[in-house]
Amino acid sequence: MKKRFMKYINTIARCATLYRDGRLEGTGLGGYQAPYVLEICRSPGITQDQIAQELHVNRSSVTRQLTLLEENGFIRRERSGMDRRAIEVYPAEKMLELLPSVRGVLTDWHSALAKILTQNEQDTLAGLLERLAKHAETIV
């Protein structure tokens, strides 16, 4: 039997984005932006390149999402004082106010998804996915 685990991982990821879209409706944030919120709030002053590395996305995707976040008043971008080529990203008050909601949406998704698994199954799955993720990082 052909193992198609990437199909299932992609399905879960797309469903997670749709879930976040629905739960964040009316906030000005979209489902794709939730990971950006976490990274920017975790590391104020993070550069656009660092965000791309942390989220494993193209720099053009980061630029697009940050433009939307900036236009909607969630972030501010500043040229780095240390490296004039780098752009640092800071959360605006609006983003900091929504951070608990974003975390809540992510927690709710995890709980809803994992409720069909035993704790042992959750632990095993998390360990296997972590191994795959670390290996994937060595391939690209």
Overall pTM surpassing 0.85 (yes/no): yes
**Binning pLDDT at 50, 70 and 90, where does residue 3 land?**
confident
* Model confidence band, residue 86 (pLDDT cutoffs 50, 70, 90): confident
45 contacts 89 by C-beta, under 8 angstroms: yes
Band the pLDDT of 1: cuts 50, 70, 90.
Answer: low
Q: What is the C-alpha to C-alpha distance for residues 25 and 55, in angstroms, rounded to an integer?
A: 22
Answer yes or no: are the C-beta atoms of 87 and 79 closer than 8 Å: yes
95 and 74 in contact (C-beta within 8 Å)? yes
pLDDT confidence of residue 72: 95
89-126 pLDDT, tens digit per residue, is 999 999 999 999 999 999 999 999 999 999 999 999 99
- Those residues whose C-beta lies under 8 Å from the C-beta of residue 91, and which sit 6 or more positions away, are 37, 40, 41, 44, 74, 75, 99
- Quote the crossing angle between the two packed helices 34-42 and 48-55, to the nearest 10°: 120
How many whole angstroms separate alpha carbon 24 and alpha carbon 34? 9
Q: Which has the minimum average pLDDT: 24-28, 83-87, 96-100?
A: 83-87
DSSP H helical segments within the chain, as ranges? Answer: 5-24, 34-42, 48-55, 59-71, 93-114, 119-139
How far is C-alpha 75 from the chain's CA centre?
15
Could you give all domains of the chain from N- to C-terminal order, each with its CATH number?
5-139 (1.10.10.10)
pLDDT the model gives residue 81: 83
Average pLDDT score over residue span 32-53: 96
